[in-house]
Copies of this chain bind each other. A is one copy, B any other.
Amino acid sequence: MEADTVEAPRRGFSRRSLFGLAGAGVVVGAAAGGAVGTAVGRATAADGGGMAGTVPFHGSHQAGIVTAAQDRMHFVAFDVITDSREKLVSLLKTWTSMAERMSQGLQATPDGATGSGEYSPPDDTGEALGLDPSQLTITIGFGPGLFVGAPGTPAEGEDRFGIAARKPAALEQMPRFMLDALDPARSEGDICVQACANDPQVAVHAVRNLARVGFGVVAVRWSQLGFGRTSSTSTTQETPRNLFGFKDGTRNIKAEDSAAVDDYVWVDGADDQPWMAGGSYLVARRIRMQIEPWDRTTLHEQERVFGREKGSGAPLGQDDEFDPLDLQSKGPKGLFIDEDAHVRLASAEKNGGIQILRRGYNFTDGSDGLGHLDAGLFFIAYCRDPQKQFVPLQTALSRNDLLNEYITHVGSAVFAVPPGVGGSGDHWGSGLFA
């Protein structure tokens, strides 16, 4: 295998380059150059023309947090099934290298799907060969059970990896909120990986290859495919709609608002554990939407529940989606926005200024066995401190949100998302395991 073939991007895959017959080297940068054809789905010119391109893997923060939300997601939570710190750290190093490569549109390893010899298992599972990088980001998080073995697991209460003392105070399982109906099989996990891309096959390929190489060290606890983004994380994006048909995330923190991002997303070195500086916390909630009862309610009720117009997304009493949310304004029938409307209870104004960065996805997972679609929102939030942001917010919502009649939280997890990976030799978790 010659050097020029090792770095052949997936898009440039061909028998010639695969088997070292190509004359000239194929450079990595070419990976982003394969964009052809026309737009699909929610692509807009404002996305920067790079829906097929690459997002840098290295940096002070991990990609996939303030990155303009890609259209599709595959999320996986793993149980760590070894007690060996050495094996775990070795896997994190391997994963880092693979993630870096896949983010560039390369195969997971230099040998890839066909390069390690006829009598070895391929190093890459191959289903992304020929596909664009599709803005793939791969983001890792560490659950409480990595620090102290999770309840109900063989490692319960154990400091398997000698890192219990490094567990951040902010990394606590979510308390039980009112109306929670959590399924343990869809909750928690020792490590999570969020793979987002504009082509779902690219996201699934990334998760699958990390899971594959983790054999003996990690096992898939649960995974979730999200087919459509429900939040914008950049002012360049149009606000998408959730499965209740409403625009979602109009007032989300946007990447361009660096003050809000610094205040509410990135962990400061002085916050808690120094190794988390530049990281964040990820809260995941699988929210089943009772779409059938919802679909039988009136437009008036639906808009009252959200506090926004369904069509335009404007706050009730206003005209346009981005008009300011005026919680006091009244019409002839009283307050435009109900006392318990979702938009009011979720607002920074009602929560002491608290904001979170939402990055969720719509899902549809077959049928519930009762004649309905199993559909909803896979909610993901990034916070600087979930105990101070998500917990009070969700406490308020779980008590009074009008939406509660139509939704059920069926899965929950929290993860410490370490900072980004620096230059060559650095790896996911290097600070934690230093």
A residues with a Cβ closer than 8 A to B are 13-15, 18-19, 35-45, 47, 49-52, 71-72, 74, 76, 79, 81, 113-114, 116-122, 124-132, 134, 185-186, 198-202, 204, 207-208, 211-212, 215, 219-225, 227-228, 238, 241-246, 291-292, 295-300, 302-303, 309-312, 314, 319-320, 362, 364-367, 369, 371-373, 375
Contact = CB atoms under 8 A, between A and B. Distances in A.
Nearest to A320: B15
A415 to B, nearest CB: 17
A208 B300 contact: no
Given A212-B292, A227-B201, A220 B45 contact: no
A57 B295 CA distance: 26
Contacts of A49: 37-38
A127 B245 contact: yes
Given A15-B320, A36-B44, A40-B134, 20 more contacts: A13-B311, A15-B312, A18-B312, A36-B45, A40-B71, A41-B132, A41-B200, A113-B310, A114-B299, A118-B303, A119-B299, A127-B242, A129-B245, A200-B200, A204-B362, A215-B296, A219-B372, A223-B373, A225-B225, A365-B366
Contact of A295 (B47, B212, B220, B222): B212
Contacts of A242: 127
Contacts of A45: 36-37
B221 A204 contact: no
A298 B119 contact: yes
B299 A121 contact: yes
The 8 closest A-B pairs by CB, nearest first: A126-B245, A219-B371, A37-B43, A41-B199, A37-B39, A200-B227, A201-B228, A118-B300
Given A113-B311, A130-B238, A371 B220 contact: yes
A413 to B, nearest CB: 13
Contact of A125 (B117, B121, B245): B245
Nearest to A222: B367
A30 to B, nearest CB: 15
A122 B312 contact: no
B41 A198 contact: yes
25 contacts: A37-B38, A37-B43, A37-B51, A39-B39, A39-B40, A39-B51, A40-B71, A40-B132, A41-B201, A113-B310, A114-B311, A118-B303, A119-B300, A122-B302, A128-B241, A186-B366, A201-B228, A201-B241, A208-B291, A208-B373, A212-B291, A212-B292, A215-B296, A219-B372, A365-B365
A236 to B, nearest CB: 11
Contact of A40 (B51, B116, B129): B51
Given A114-B299, A225-B364, A238-B130, A211 B373 contact: yes
B44 A39 contact: no
A214 to B, nearest CB: 10
Contacts of A116: 299
Contacts of A225: 225, 227, 364-366
Contact of A223 (B238, B314, B367): B367
Contacts of A47: 37
A19 to B, nearest CB: 8
B223 A200 contact: no
Contacts of A186: 366
Contacts of A71: 40
B43 A122 contact: no
Contacts of A185: 367, 369
A76 B295 CA distance: 18
A366 B298 contact: no
A79 to B, nearest CB: 8
Nearest to A243: B127
Contacts of A117: 299
Contacts of A220: 367, 371-373
B127 A241 contact: yes
A63 B415 CA distance: 45
Contacts of A37: 38-39, 43-45, 47, 49, 51
